[in-house]
Amino acid sequence: MIRSSPSIPIPRTVPLLPLQNKVLLPGVVTRLQISRRDSLSLFEKILRTYDSRELNKCIIGAFPIHIPPSDASSNNNDKKSSKSGRTQGELISPGPSPVYPNVGMGTGKSSGTGNPGDSSGQLAISNRDTLNPSHIHPTGCAARLVRLERTVGGFLVVLEGLVRLRLNRVTSQHPYFEVDVSPMPDKPVDKSDIELQDQIVALRSTSKEFVALLQSLKLPAPVLTQLQKFLESVGVIPGQVVDLLMSTIESTVDEKIAILDAVDLKERITKAVELLTRQIHVLKISQKVHDNVEGKLNKKQREFYLRQQMAAIKEELGEKDGAEEDEMTVIENRLNAANLPSDVQKAADREMKRLKKMQPASSEYSVIRNYLDWLSDLPWSKSSEDILDVERARKQLNDDHHGLEKVKRRILEYLAVTKLQQLKGDVKGPILCLVGPPGVGKTSLGRSIAMAMGRKFHRISLGGVWDESEIRGHRRTYVGALPGLVIHGLKKVEVNNPVILLDEIDKIGSRGHHGDPSAAFLEVLDPEQNSTFTDHYLNVPFDLSKILFIATANSIDTIPAPLLDRMELITLPGYTYAEKLAIATNHLLPKQIRQHGLSEEDIQVTEDALLKVATGFTRESGVRQLEREIGAIVRAKAVQYAEIQEQHTTTDVVAVVDSKAKEDPNVSKPKEYQPLVTLADVEDILGQDKYINEVTERLAVPGVVTGMAYNDVGGGILFIEVSQMPGKGHLQLTGSLGDVIKESAHIALSWVKSHGYEVGLTTSPGQNVMEKADVHIHMPSGATPKDGPSAGIAMVCALVSMFSNQIVPTTTAMTGEFTLRGLVMPVGGIKEKVIAAHRAGIRKIIMPLRNQKDVTSDVPVNVRDEIEFVYASTVWEVLREAFEGRVMVRGTGVTTSGIDSRM
């Protein structure tokens, strides 16, 4: 109820309770949680002094506190602890306080409003040392102690405001503040004061309108009852009603202090009418918005609206960080920042509307949320600036790779064309595919291209990818669906024009019950289609035309023809020994030295030693095994270096050993570290050679010919062995041979049988060279599958060698296919085969005449200088060069050199 006057006399000196961000007005009840040290001392004394039935006789002065900015900044930590709920207080009007709709009342600065649950209303600073008399506001309120309970860490106190107080002076500061005060009760209303009566009428009229709004909002009845007493009765003091209204409406601390300072009734009513009018306008707007929205909400929308109200209430209670943005707002801001294309924006807006209507606990909610996260994270319009400097790219490629001149030239051509296309605004480049054996630098070439262009680099490993969804993404029909590898890569690099390396595209899975992953790349790698690539998960087009795709493969045989048609092939052959020596000196050795914690002064390897490692311990087209062997040498030297360092760690020990060595020559001095690695050191560290020169080690016997092959790891030599035995003319083939090479064997045998008399293998034209014999053709290393159309002429020479008992020199190799008419056909992989033959010690090569241009353009000069190349167009020319004129043509008296191509 509203009290007409305080029933308890106010002492001259009262204990002071400081209130920060909070104001207690007469006639209002407040509940406080006390935890300050000096306030604890005050209430401990009250418990000792007053009986529980006499607590209402205790009078306390509650004064607001003003903290200057300098003091406030030094006391920031105490304020934070206060916010956490240590000193929260709550004002309680004589009845339950109103709960308004989710539209803020007042100016929006709600600190210290005094409404129930207002977390900003707090006691003064928790550090007593920062409080001095200058901080205390001169006007306060005498409060009667209604209830006092001991709690964990402090006291729960309920106070009732009685009358305004004026602070005269501070009489004591320890253990708590005591002040000398003077009461300032409200004066009786002068009915002869016309101006005051008019103000009371205005207050009564405004209060009626306010009460009507509260009734329409169905707020708690006790508050309305107290206000209606003022409207219906003339015995109620208007000043007390103003204090009650200030505890009901939303207002700032400064506004409440202004009401507390307004001892004059006219001034207090004027300020109250102003604040009450503002509150009425806010309630009207709130009621209008509430009514408009309420009629349009369905069940789910109502739940969402209530959740928003709950979030607002939690924020007012301090249970939610005020700086934290709403989840939906965060998603919308991210989508707006992504700068989505128009069609993608429509899809995002549609999904956003669905998300707002769903409950967070729904499984579909997380699916849509993840989808929107992907849309906002993808770089729809974010690109990196290209650095299309041809000279810079040339230097980058030369620094990173030795040799590969043809490959570098093609890459520079691509960059130059791209630069010119950008000037015209039309950039559609080919898809490069680097084909070559392992270890020749295909992946590192892609990384060098990205660095030369200033683009980001991403590598996608395709080996063993069997599911089409790994490329095109999974459809959003179940929880856990994700986009494909290309979209994943774009999210990672955060730009829409990176260099994406499709590694091992020849090892991608074939068609199965999960689809055909190679077919999924047809749209990705087609410059005419990938501008509208649609991932199954996103279900909206994404422009892939700005991406530079570079594929790598060891062989093109397993790549489907439609996919191969979309790529431009660039072949990377194997390295010669000279190139391997340069790569080891400039790249591999310095890299291994750095990785093993040494410096270039700590280890030096001679060229002879490196060449020995390349020739005796590796037999590959690339340099991976070479790097491993160099690493083994560096590790061995690192062990020696560490042991020598341990022996020289203590200078005193070295000095003692040196002095003993002078006295006794038998005492050995500490060993000195030798950084130089010689040819002898290589043999000590790596042991015996792993590979020997098979060509020079083999004995020349009839029926054995050296062929040349191309495989996934580059080129190599292939020995063909033929033997005959008594039989009935059967042919046996062994050595894991494929269908193509088996056909070559049958063709070779047919040609030899049909031309046996001309070559001198039979005594009469109609005689069968295999009349009473079986032939067995074998290719060693049977565990290695062999196939390909390049061993035809080698098999003919092997058969002729066996039947004629003539040998073909072991240093002579040959490659080429032929027809039944004896015409030699060209073959592929010439550079790889020639380099492999050079590594094996071959010094003469017989090949088709039409492959001469491949030798001239592709084979390094130093290799051409060390090998004799013979070009043949018919089998007769092959036999002439292979047997060096030792096979006679029966009946003419001339060697095979006299046979021309008409045969």
Least trusted range by pLDDT, from 227-231, 416-420, 714-718: 227-231
Asked if residue 336 and residue 230 are part of one domain, the reply reads yes
**CB distance 818 to 850 below 8 Å:** no
Q: Residue 384 gets which letter from DSSP?
A: P
Asked if residue 166 and residue 269 are part of one domain, the reply reads no
Contacts of 612 by beta carbon, 8 Å cutoff, 6+ apart: 679, 682, 683
Asked if residue 337 and residue 224 are part of one domain, the reply reads yes
Q: Last residue of some domain: 149, 183, 217? A: 183
**Total domains in the fold of the chain:** 5
- CA 62 remoteness from chain centre: 58
Q: Any known ligand binding at 436?
A: yes
Q: Which domain holds residue 29?
A: 13-183
C-alpha span between 758 and 767 (Å, rounded): 11
pLDDT at 355: 86
The proportion of the chain whose per-residue pLDDT surpasses 90, expressed as a percent, equals 12
pLDDT at 474: 87
Asked if residue 120 and residue 49 are part of one domain, the reply reads yes
pLDDT at 658: 56
Residues with catalytic roles:
790, 833
Asked if residue 597 and residue 567 are part of one domain, the reply reads no
Give 113's Cβ-side CA count (13 Å radius): 24
The two three-digit tokens of residue 88, written as one number: 């929260």
Its sign, for the CA torsion 762, 764, 769, 773, is: negative
C-alpha span between 576 and 477 (Å, rounded): 54
Mean pLDDT of 234-248: 74
pLDDT at 115: 38
Mean pLDDT of 520-526: 84
Domain assignment present for 7: no
Domain assignment present for 2: no
pLDDT at 238: 77
pLDDT at 478: 73
pLDDT at 566: 85
Q: Any known ligand binding at 443?
A: yes
pLDDT at 849: 92
Domain assignment present for 165: yes
Contacts of 569 by beta carbon, 8 Å cutoff, 6+ apart: 433, 435, 556
Here the CATH number for the domain that contains residue 147 is 2.30.130.40
Here the CATH number for the domain that contains residue 448 is 3.40.50.300
C-alpha span between 698 and 308 (Å, rounded): 88
Asked if residue 172 and residue 293 are part of one domain, the reply reads no
More confident: 696 or 430: 430
For residue 320, is pLDDT > 90? no
Average pLDDT, the chain: 79
Regarding beta strands 59-64 and 13-20, do their DSSP bridges make them parallel or antiparallel, or are they unpaired?
parallel
Residue 122 pLDDT level (bands cut at 50, 70, 90):
very low
Q: How many CB atoms lie within 10 A of CB 746?
A: 13
Asked if residue 260 and residue 179 are part of one domain, the reply reads no
Q: Residue 186 gets which letter from DSSP?
A: P
C-alpha span between 40 and 87 (Å, rounded): 12
Q: Last residue of some domain: 571, 597, 613? A: 571
Q: How many CB atoms lie within 10 A of CB 226?
A: 21
For residue 400, is pLDDT > 60? yes
Least trusted range by pLDDT, from 425-439, 541-555, 604-618: 425-439
pLDDT at 665: 54
Its sign, for the CA torsion 346, 348, 349, 351, is: positive
Q: Give the chain's length.
A: 903
Mean pLDDT of 547-564: 86
For residue 807, is pLDDT > 80? yes
Domain assignment present for 677: yes
Surface-to-core class of residue 154, CB atoms within 10 Å of its CB (0-12 exposed, 13-18 middle, 19+ buried): buried
Asked if residue 168 and residue 135 are part of one domain, the reply reads yes
Query: Measuring CA to CA, which residue among 308, 245, 321 is closest to residue 280?
Result: 245
Q: Any known ligand binding at 841?
A: no
Asked if residue 409 and residue 331 are part of one domain, the reply reads no
C-alpha span between 495 and 478 (Å, rounded): 28
Query: Measuring CA to CA, which residue among 761, 603, 733 is closest to residue 674?
Result: 603
Residue 602 pLDDT level (bands cut at 50, 70, 90):
confident
Mean pLDDT of 873-892: 75
For residue 892, is pLDDT > 50? no
For residue 902, is pLDDT > 60? no
Q: Any known ligand binding at 441?
A: yes
Q: Any known ligand binding at 788?
A: no
Q: Which run of H or of E encompasses 852?
A: helix 852-858
For residue 418, is pLDDT > 70? yes
Its sign, for the CA torsion 793, 799, 803, 806, is: positive
Mean pLDDT of 661-688: 72
Mean pLDDT of 289-307: 67
Q: Residue 826 gets which letter from DSSP?
A: P
More confident: 874 or 114: 874
Where is mean pLDDT largest: 373-377, 474-478, 885-889? 373-377
Residue 544 pLDDT level (bands cut at 50, 70, 90):
confident
Q: Which run of H or of E encompasses 733?
A: strand 731-734
Mean pLDDT of 226-241: 66
**CB distance 501 to 458 below 8 Å:** yes
Domain assignment present for 385: no
> 288 vs 218, 282, 292, 368, 475, CA distance in Å?
15, 10, 6, 34, 45
For residue 519, is pLDDT > 50? yes
> 843 vs 595, 720, 825, 866, CA distance in Å?
39, 18, 22, 7
C-alpha span between 549 and 432 (Å, rounded): 7
More confident: 899 or 695: 695
pLDDT at 615: 80
Residue 899 pLDDT level (bands cut at 50, 70, 90):
very low
Q: Which pTM value belongs to this model?
A: 0.56
**CB distance 167 to 139 below 8 Å:** yes
pLDDT at 823: 92
Asked if residue 785 and residue 741 are part of one domain, the reply reads yes
What are the pLDDT digits (tens) for 822-880?
A: 899 998 888 878 888 887 788 899 999 999 998 888 888 888 888 999 999 999 989 88
Question: % helix / strand / coil in the chain, to the nearest 5?
Answer: 45, 20, 35
For residue 492, is pLDDT > 60? yes
Mean pLDDT of 560-568: 86
For residue 263, is pLDDT > 80? yes
Here the CATH number for the domain that contains residue 737 is 3.30.230.10
More confident: 94 or 610: 610
Query: Measuring CA to CA, which residue among 765, 719, 770 is closest to residue 749?
Result: 770
For residue 627, is pLDDT > 80? yes
For residue 123, is pLDDT > 50? no
**CB distance 707 to 720 below 8 Å:** yes
pLDDT at 215: 75
Query: Measuring CA to CA, which residue among 362, 347, 352 is closest to residue 303?
Result: 362
pLDDT at 695: 66
Asked if residue 485 and residue 597 are part of one domain, the reply reads no
Contacts of 854 by beta carbon, 8 Å cutoff, 6+ apart: 830, 831
Q: Which backbone phi and psi does 860 adopt, to 5 degrees?
A: -60, 150
What are the pLDDT digits (tens) for 643-674?
A: 887 776 654 455 555 555 555 555 454 567 78
Q: Which backbone phi and psi does 797 adopt, to 5 degrees?
A: -65, -35
More confident: 228 or 334: 334
pLDDT at 825: 92
Beta strands in 782-897 (DSSP E): 812-814, 817-818, 824-825, 844-848, 868-872, 888-889, 894-895
Domain assignment present for 686: no
Q: Which run of H or of E encompasses 235?
A: none
Its sign, for the CA torsion 288, 290, 292, 295, is: negative
For residue 399, is pLDDT > 80? yes
Asked if residue 888 and residue 758 are part of one domain, the reply reads yes
Strand, coil or helix: 118: coil
Residue 141 pLDDT level (bands cut at 50, 70, 90):
very high
C-alpha span between 112 and 32 (Å, rounded): 13
The proportion of the chain whose per-residue pLDDT surpasses 70, expressed as a percent, equals 80
Regarding beta strands 548-553 and 567-571, do their DSSP bridges make them parallel or antiparallel, or are they unpaired?
unpaired
Domain assignment present for 383: no
Q: Last residue of some domain: 652, 681, 710? A: 681
pLDDT at 119: 35
C-alpha span between 755 and 765 (Å, rounded): 8
Q: Residue 172 gets which letter from DSSP?
A: E
More confident: 600 or 165: 165
pLDDT at 12: 92
C-alpha span between 283 and 112 (Å, rounded): 20
More confident: 617 or 317: 617
pLDDT at 662: 54
Residue 165 pLDDT level (bands cut at 50, 70, 90):
very high
Residue 796 pLDDT level (bands cut at 50, 70, 90):
very high
Q: Residue 508 gets which letter from DSSP?
A: -
Domain assignment present for 652: yes
Q: Residue 847 gets which letter from DSSP?
A: E
Q: Any known ligand binding at 437?
A: yes
